[in-house]
Structure 1
């Protein structure tokens, strides 16, 4: 039998923003590949509904805000208590508060920075502390952190300076964590998505922007959550064991660079 190179058998992965879209698809595929999943979302009802078909014995649902540092720390402790360890993190939770620069309120700016950037830091820190401690105790398996960034963080996004700035910030966070934690065999990478068919992209996929956006994508179509999360799980698995500090574009060619 051929070995599954992206197996997540026996691993526990925390996924934020897990109730819908990319987070939900990540949770589903991770469990299919053998992982236990700690699914975090602010919307408890959506979390229950969205993940209702997944096996309860391998799923831990956590309701709360990713901006809550105490929740992040407690979730890691609880996951360790239930599953024995935490091996990976997918920083996926996100919101949009669009406005042109001159019209954006300080509140709109801060809301997005808090969720996308500060929230990602808090969960990276909480999971990272656990992984570092395990390494210091002699565990050599390390771990993998995947930060969900965006092409908006590499090329800007009209009407979303808050979102673009936060996603650019994630790239710096990724590179710094990769440099600090590489000695513990903790890998940290970013994925920069283009336009994925999720509730967050309904506006840009709408009639007003559709043709213009599709004209910029060489593959000529939107991505589906199911196809883009394959790269997420690749980064969580041993198939990417020598990959860290990288920003991987999963975007149909929307952004192409050296």
Structure 2
């Protein structure tokens, strides 16, 4: 295999299913050697053996019989002529994140690209959201981005200081829920918003070491979205055969951002859905007023009312119609 990632070593977390699997296959098709990470947990992050057999689909049970979802994706890549290795560690732990990076270095001798994608859902309306469900979702999404990034960045910094400045790339996974909010997903929305902040800081701090960091906010048919977007996700392919909700539609952008061809692109957030790519522009100062002195509460209120008439309306929170 050869392509725009020929010779690069790419780590993809949560790569056993959905978007992560699509990314891993796409990187391999472009010549990358891929470390396929997946813990093999259920949609809510619990171990597959928890609960009854009814909690698992037949496809999930078949993956477990074949060694888990990471091993299955590795087998797919190798069957197509590519190179890949499985990693089944928990990347939201220091040990798991460190072993993820060391797996790439010990197996292939280098690390070029990190795609942070792992995550799961525990949706509840805010007043019903348990502390454990809050902590678990923040842990896998936000901490699960931070720790692999930290360990990869330490390696790249050492390389840079040794005179071997890399063309390193990080692609983080946020969400429209993190950009706009989503009803019933306060934990998930908060985590995904945090990932945007992490992306911006990492891009600024790591540029000196040859590292570029960007984020995507994807929309596609996966285990995590099938309940939220049931009607849309069930839409059939078009007459031309284009399946608008296929996870594979997001992967070309991720592969490009993870390649040397993306030189100069960093600190950006992109929405990716079907055949559409959007550069998200984030927070920018809008209408403002400066009295030059302290406002009274009444004056502050009157001023805010006036400024809001001049401001752009906020995007609609997902689930509000």
Asked whether 1:121 is paired with 2:118, we answer no
CA contact (8 A) 1:151 1:255 kept: no
- Choose the corresponding residue for 2:77, options 54, 62, 66: 54
Q: C-alpha separation between the residues in 2 aligned to 1:198 and 1:174?
A: 23
Q: How many residues align?
A: 243
SS of the equivalent of 1:200 reads: coil
Q: Which has the higher contact order (CA 8 A, sep 6+)?
A: 1
**Matched residue, 2:306:** none
Q: How does 1:10-159 map to 2 (within 5 A)?
A: 10-43=7-40, 45-55=68-78, 58-159=83-184
SS of the equivalent of 1:65 reads: coil
Q: C-alpha separation between the residues in 2 aligned to 1:90 and 1:131?
A: 15
Do the aligned partners of residues 256 and 177 (structure 1) sit closer, same or farther apart at CA in structure 2, a change above 3 Å counting?
Answer: closer
* Deviation at residue 64 of structure 1 after TM alignment: 2.0
Q: C-alpha separation between the residues in 1 aligned to 2:160 and 2:73?
A: 35
Greater Rg by CA: 2
* Deviation at residue 79 of structure 1 after TM alignment: 1.7
SS of the equivalent of 1:80 reads: helix
TM-score, length basis structure 2: 0.71
* Deviation at residue 255 of structure 1 after TM alignment: 8.3
- Choose the corresponding residue for 2:222, options 180, 198, 201: 198
* Deviation at residue 257 of structure 1 after TM alignment: 5.8
**Matched residue, 2:187:** 162
**Matched residue, 2:246:** 224
SS of the equivalent of 1:59 reads: strand
**Matched residue, 2:305:** none
SS of the equivalent of 1:49 reads: helix
Structure 1 gap segments, 5+ residues each? 212-220
Structure 2 gap segments, 5+ residues each? 41-66, 234-242, 282-321
CA contact (8 A) 2:8 2:112 kept: yes
Alignment RMSD (CA, Å)? 2.2
Q: C-alpha separation between the residues in 2 aligned to 1:185 and 1:257?
A: 23
SS of the equivalent of 2:257 reads: helix
Q: C-alpha separation between the residues in 2 aligned to 1:248 and 1:119?
A: 20
Q: C-alpha separation between the residues in 1 aligned to 2:34 and 2:185?
A: 31
